[in-house]
Amino acid sequence: MSANYRAVRLEHASRLLNHGPTVLVTSAAAGRRNVMAAAWSMPVEFVPPRVAVVIDKQAFTRELVLAGGAFALCLPGIALAELTYAVGQYSGRTQDKFARHGLHARPGPVLGMPLIESGCAAWLECRLIREPHAEQAYDTCFAEVVAAAADTRIFSDGRWHFDAGNGELQTLHHLGGGQFVRPGGTLVVTAS
């Protein structure tokens, strides 16, 4: 190892790799609805657009996602940092987190998933792809994105625009242990 390097505890390996946008996973089934924070989500295919998200088997969200066969990923902006952290600290099994935090959600256009737009930069409505082994062994749920929308103040023409005027909508990136970082600016690179 070179002089500037030190070993990283393997329990912290994920922190090196994953500081993409923290999402709010929303779900609904059988008259119940819920929302939780998730840092571990990723795209896995362009066409059809597919994603994967880790949803722990203890989470109430997992129960609703399996029952409803769907979920939505809403991308909270910096203004929702405390809310995002809060809904990742306790379960919605015994209380409605939307009501507790005064969160307004509207039904998604294809699957009726609860979509949070106020304070969020974007949402993706997703139909679960059943992969029982991945769900059971790795808590990983795969899904196809069937609808998506974004606030044009920060995402338009297929691109993010992070600038001084849209700070409150800028995405949150969890570094672990309740520490977040915000995007510091855009770097545009072209192939030579």
Ligand X SMILES: Cc1cc2nc3c(=O)[nH]c(=O)nc-3n(C[C@H](O)[C@H](O)[C@H](O)COP(=O)(O)O)c2cc1C
The residues binding ligand X (CB under 6 A) are: 22, 34, 36-40, 54-56, 59-61, 85, 88-93, 174
Nearest-approach distance from CB 102 to ligand X, in angstroms: 17
Q: In 13-40, which positions are buried (b, 16+ CB within 10 angstroms) versus exposed (e)? A: eebeebbebbbbbbbbbeeebbbbbbbb
When CB distances to ligand X are compared, the closest residue is 88
Comparison of 15 and 161: residue with beta carbon closer to ligand X: 15
Comparison of 92 and 119: residue with beta carbon closer to ligand X: 92
Nearest-approach distance from CB 104 to ligand X, in angstroms: 18
> Who contacts 28 (Cβ-Cβ below 8 Å, separation ≥6)?
34, 64, 68, 112, 113, 114
Comparison of 29 and 186: residue with beta carbon closer to ligand X: 29
Report cis status (omega within 30 of 0) of the bond before 48: yes
Nearest-approach distance from CB 60 to ligand X, in angstroms: 4
Nearest-approach distance from CB 131 to ligand X, in angstroms: 16
Comparison of 124 and 174: residue with beta carbon closer to ligand X: 174
Nearest-approach distance from CB 89 to ligand X, in angstroms: 6
Comparison of 87 and 150: residue with beta carbon closer to ligand X: 87
> Who contacts 71 (Cβ-Cβ below 8 Å, separation ≥6)?
25, 26, 27, 53, 55, 61, 64, 65, 113, 126, 128, 141, 143
